[in-house]
Amino acid sequence: MSLVEAPNPGSPRSGSRSMWLWGVVCGFLLLGALILGASSLGPSAPRGDLRPAPAVAQDASASSRDPSASRRTAIVAAAQRVGPSVVTISVVSTRTVQSSPFSNEFFDPFFRDMIPSYRYREQIPSMGSGFIISSKGYVLTNEHVVHGAEKITVILADGRSFTGKVLGSHPQYDVAIVKIEGDRLPVAPLGTSNDLLIGEWAIAIGNPFGFLLNDTQPTVTAGVISATRRDIKAGSAGEGIYKNMIQTDAAINPGNSGGPLVNANGDVIGVNTFIFTKSGGSEGIGFAIPIDAVKRVVDELIRYGRVRNVWIGVGTWDITPYLAERLGTKDRNGLYVASVEKGSPADKAGAKVGDIIRRVNGTSIGDVNEAYRALFGANVGDTITLTVERDGKTSTLKLTLEELQE
């Protein structure tokens, strides 16, 4: 009988197999523990850094969800600040018209003396803009908007309508004050025009083409300050004298005259007055009267109902070729002092007959019109300078202007 050797459980082969099985089991247990631990921690910050996430991220996401925050620009804020005070000024004036049954180039020479012409009066409606500058009911506008008005109606942005009356006006300054009676009147904030920057925002608010738009809300156009201190040649823009004007490319159209020009802070910096145009529409060259110059005129109009005329007290001649020859000078620029009124500001300052005024307030003058423009804007109580030539020597005289007594 053969015998087979049975395996010995204590042999090396049996021990290695048991250890391998035990290692596999322990590995699975360790892997499970790691997985359970990771899931319980979640996506937290690294250990030792338990600070909350910054709130800026929440604010940024909130801003992205609210697009109206980015739509409220400086122009929007300025329009909302000034817009309620901007008014429509409806004017009715009357003109006399002369007509003839044969009023044409062919018949008129033959029948002019045989058939008399007839005249009739017709009412002419017009419209412009303005803005309220006082809760007392003072409305600022251009003089040419209310010139010759027989009836004035002031319409507010909220739809209210008032009868207006011209309190005072001045055609050379092209400024007028219309008075209305009302309560809860919105007032435009007046700024300054002395520190304007070329290129800064300029916002024109008014009521262009008011007859075509059945709406009392004003129109807003935006541009920039194109230039400052623009002097417009005499006769280029009507009867007014326009000095130190603000130029802007903000669209100004018929009906905008008298409305405010506003900066990005929502302060009025000028009064929109006229444009240069070939087509009749806006071409980006508009002009506004600086608000600081307007304030001085407004103060005179409200206090006195007029702008008081200033008194200098000199009579002058233009320097003609004949007078220049008699004076022995080749320089024909300036004014010859022909007379000095006793007790006048010029007399008190030391002006003499025979003086030649070469400059007024530092501006060279060629004739009396240029001297008038150099004095434009000076009020009673202001001090001006005259640079005069006397006996070949130049000196400067300082005059304090007084009111011209009628």
Fold designation for 84-179: Thrombin, subunit H (2.40.10)
| CA 77/CA 270 separation, integer angstroms | 18
- Residue 255's φ and ψ, nearest 5 degrees, are 105, -15
Average pLDDT over residues 261-269: 97
Residue 88 pLDDT greater than 60, yes or no: yes
Average pLDDT over residues 199-207: 96
Model pLDDT for residues 243-256, shown as the tens digit of each residue? 899 999 999 888 89
Inter-residue contact 256 to 208 (CB < 8 Å): yes
Place of tokens 């919105």: 186
Q: Is 126 a catalytic site residue?
A: no
**Considering all CA atoms of the chain, what is the largest pairwise distance in Å, rounded to the nearest integer?**
173
Question: H or E element: which one contains 359?
Answer: strand 356-360
Average pLDDT over residues 98-115: 58
What is the b/e burial string over 331-363, where b = at least 16 CB atoms within 10 angstroms of the residue's CB? eebbbbbeebeeebbbbebebeeebbbbbbbee
Is it true that 201-304 and 310-403 share their CATH fold? Answer: no
pLDDT band at 370 (very low <50, low <70, confident <90, very high): confident
Average pLDDT over residues 330-359: 95
For residue 262, give the amino acid letter: V
Model pLDDT for residues 285-335, shown as the tens digit of each residue? 899 999 999 999 999 999 999 999 999 999 999 999 999 999 888 889 999
Instruction: Show me where the domains of the chain are located.
Output: 84-179, 201-304, 310-403
| Whole-number pLDDT of residue 165 | 97
Distances 35 to 29, 43, 45, 48, 301 between C-alpha atoms, Å: 10, 14, 18, 21, 89
Q: What's the mean per-residue pLDDT of the chain?
A: 83
Residue 267 pLDDT greater than 50, yes or no: yes
Residue in 229, 234, 201, 206 with CA at minimum distance from that of residue 219:
206
Name the catalytic one among 85, 126, 169, 174: 174
Query: Looking at per-residue confidence, does 224 or 327 come out higher?
Result: 224
Fold designation for 201-304: Thrombin, subunit H (2.40.10)
| Whole-number pLDDT of residue 64 | 55
For residue 360, give the amino acid letter: V
| CA 135/CA 188 separation, integer angstroms | 10
Model pLDDT for residues 5-64, shown as the tens digit of each residue? 344 444 444 445 556 566 655 666 665 655 555 555 444 444 444 444 454 444 445 445
| Whole-number pLDDT of residue 94 | 83
Question: With respect to CATH, is domain 310-403 assigned 2.30.42.10?
Answer: yes
Name the catalytic one among 169, 257, 267, 355: 257
| CA 354/CA 337 separation, integer angstroms | 5
Residue 233 pLDDT greater than 90, yes or no: no
Place of tokens 């022995």: 328
| Whole-number pLDDT of residue 213 | 65
| Whole-number pLDDT of residue 174 | 95
Other beta carbons less than 10 A from residue 19's beta carbon: 8
pLDDT band at 123 (very low <50, low <70, confident <90, very high): confident
Name the catalytic one among 85, 126, 129, 144: 144
Q: Is 70 a catalytic site residue?
A: no
Residue in 211, 218, 227, 240 with CA at minimum distance from that of residue 92:
211
pTM of the model: 0.74
Instruction: Please provide the DSSP assignment of 27-96 as one string.
Output: HHHHHHHHHHHHHHH-SPPPTT--PPPPTHHHHHHHHHH-THHHH--HHHHHHHHHGGGEEEEEEEEEEE
Place of tokens 């001006």: 384
pLDDT band at 119 (very low <50, low <70, confident <90, very high): confident
Q: Is 339 a catalytic site residue?
A: no
